[in-house]
Amino acid sequence: MYGVAPDAQLLVMKVFGKGGGAYDWDYMASIEDAILLGSDSVNLSIGSPNPGMATNSVYKNLLESLHNTDTVVTISAGNNYAWPIKSNTPAKALYAEDNNMNFVGSPGSYDALLTVASVDNHGYTGELLHIGNLDVQYMEPHFNNESISTLDKSSDGTGTTYDYVFMDGIGLESDYKDVDVTGKVVFISHGSISFLEKQTRAQEKGAIAAIIYNNSPGLISMALTDGQATIPTVSISKDDGNAIRSASVGAAGIYSGKLKFLKLFLPFINSSKHEHASSLFNISVFGGVKITRD
């Protein structure tokens, strides 16, 4: 292996469970093990999607004790992106009162850690759902659920079309009465019952994927911890949910239509219009520096 540290020994530690998600005590234990094994540095690429300062005093004190070791711990700054998108204001204003002005998320926000980040992105990047003339951005948790991109069965990435059922209900047993979702994608409203229960019941009813639309402004950060259901499950905004309902046919709280999934990873400026322009996102400037063994 060649790079900036030839002949270095690498120690790989697993902190994520089989269902996804890493708890504080998981990576704290791995940091401790690495120190006991004599590691010079520990690198973790994990972080909360919700920015803000870490406040757990127990873990804070543990990490402060790193000053007594020769080990340097570096960690990613977090997994948050543009804060205005989570604002409840209609215009998603940059300096709205409810915007979170923090950029760094736990555990990178602990003082004792060396936090690393690199962002040169002039737009958003991601995969989209295509429903008629709508291009819909979604958020996907990574637990036991399969990726929704697996629904694109095309060999060239041009997309695969499926039938969907859009319900006004929250995914209760009664919401599925006389509703056939077998082999279809089902849209379910956020609210009352857990995301895990919504996903599990959708799979039991034969759905191939579940899409949870928010019942209030903004996006949803879902947790499917300890879930056994495997169907792809993602979340979308309330505005996109309303737009999909309007583009569907049906009545009495049950609607239907067709949507397409694409594997293509696209740059786009906003969720209503995507742009196929590589200028929207680029690797950070320093990423072009070539480091040699000399």
pLDDT one-digit tens code per residue, 21-56: 777 888 888 888 988 898 888 888 877 766 666 677
Asked whether residue 85 falls in the same domain as residue 144, the answer is no
The Cα–Cα gap between 136 and 134 comes to 6
Asked whether residue 181 falls in the same domain as residue 143, the answer is yes
Asked whether residue 91 falls in the same domain as residue 149, the answer is no
Asked whether residue 263 falls in the same domain as residue 131, the answer is yes
Asked whether residue 157 falls in the same domain as residue 52, the answer is no
Looking at the domain assignment, is residue 132 inside a domain? yes
Can you give the pLDDT at residue 68? 85
| Category of 252 on φ-ψ map: left (φ > 0), alpha (ψ -120 to 50) or beta | left
**9 burial class (0-12, 13-18, 19+ CB within 10 angstroms)?**
exposed
Looking at the domain assignment, is residue 291 inside a domain? no
Looking at the domain assignment, is residue 112 inside a domain? yes
Asked if the model's pLDDT at residue 91 lies above 60, the reply is no
Asked whether residue 190 falls in the same domain as residue 222, the answer is yes
Asked whether residue 260 falls in the same domain as residue 133, the answer is yes
Taking only the tens place, the pLDDT of each residue in 9-22 is: 888 888 887 777 77
Looking at the domain assignment, is residue 4 inside a domain? no
What's the domain count of the chain?
A: 2
Asked whether residue 80 falls in the same domain as residue 193, the answer is no
In this prediction, residues 252-268 reach a mean pLDDT of 76
What's the CATH number where 188 sits?
3.50.30.30
Can you give the pLDDT at residue 210? 94
Which among 98, 117, 136 is the end of a domain?
117
Asked if the model's pLDDT at residue 268 lies above 80, the reply is no
Provide the residue range defining the domain that includes 190. 124-274
Asked whether residue 112 falls in the same domain as residue 59, the answer is yes
The Cα–Cα gap between 212 and 240 comes to 11
Looking at the domain assignment, is residue 67 inside a domain? yes
Asked whether residue 82 falls in the same domain as residue 139, the answer is no
Task: Give yes or no for a cis peptide into 107 (omega within 30° of 0).
Answer: yes
> Measuring CA to CA, which residue among 12, 40, 16, 38 is closest to residue 27?
16
Asked whether residue 97 falls in the same domain as residue 189, the answer is no
Asked whether residue 183 falls in the same domain as residue 84, the answer is no
Taking only the tens place, the pLDDT of each residue in 179-224 is: 999 999 999 999 889 999 999 999 999 999 999 999 988 778 788 8
